[in-house]
Structure 1
């Protein structure tokens, strides 16, 4: 795999998240029941950053949870012979809340479908909205993000690789081009 292009740097990511936070605040009109839920792994630090921005806008803390969807995936057997299950960490009741589900990349929609199934097992939110840093198209399911940092048209053979400083030590988004076949060890969403 080779890097084809960098599409966002740290400053562009910061600005996109700031704009998304304002859009979330406006759409939810300061909803006292608003909470963010990040999809593990890279959705979690993005949700935390959005919560910090929303706290500055709204003047109050916004709860943040972390959701593991491993066992809800419809491609579990293709991901790994022994899946690594991480812990869901949501220390608030999701029932009746306005939730914003946060992830790094929206591709086929299958990760979001799995996340919705996992959320519904925890309770019945008043509504669920979706925020993603990158929407790259190629949907296989009828899922659309409510808040998008950047729309990036891609070819199916390309991979959008999001680097988040809390996990990867840097903030940047690049497009990788596959030489041949699927990327080893990478799960497409």
Structure 2
């Protein structure tokens, strides 16, 4: 069994998510609606938590959508959204995942938006490991973590407990 080291406690994760929600609001306060696109599965869970916080503080409408792709074989899998792409036209999209490692998942996820004229696309992650190999940067990061490429960061966003471990 692999040993886990706790990086962020439940309270710390919730605090990071709340801060990210305020940053998203501050950078998009003039919008009428923003779209939170969560990459299934943990990115979608993070997007739901951000939506809850944004709906409390923001004056704009917040729409949550899911994005499906095979993170281990993105070139061989379909990349799909669980909404009609026409609803994304001229909207601000925040693409959300739990951890940014190389930027690969985010880069392939952009394919779902390439045939739609969106206003802008921003990215949000709970943990940014900064091992980027793709030209993707994180606009909103809850936590910047210096790790080796062989380390594994595990995010748990369960109903009762939200924590981050290093394995």
TM-score (ref. length: structure 1): 0.79
**Aligned counterparts of 1:144 and 1:156: Cα–Cα separation in 2:** 17
Moved over 4 A (4+): none
User: Which has more radius of gyration?
Assistant: 1
Confirm or deny that 1:172 pairs with 2:166: no
* Match runs of 1:132-151 below 5 Å: 132-151=125-144
Deviations 1:127-185 (A, max 9, x none): 0000100001111112110000000100111000111104xx63111011xxxxxxxxx
Corresponding residue pairs, total:
165
Question: Which has the larger share of strand?
Answer: 2
Unpaired segments ≥5 residues, structure 1:
77-82, 177-189
**Aligned counterparts of 1:2 and 1:137: Cα–Cα separation in 2:** 23
Picking from 94, 101, 111, the partner of 2:105 is: 111
Aligned to 1:24: 24
TM-score (ref. length: structure 2): 0.89
Unpaired segments ≥5 residues, structure 2:
none
Supply the RMSD in Å over aligned alpha carbons: 2.2
Confirm or deny that 1:124 pairs with 2:117: yes
CA contact 2:35–2:63 (8 Å) conserved in 1: yes
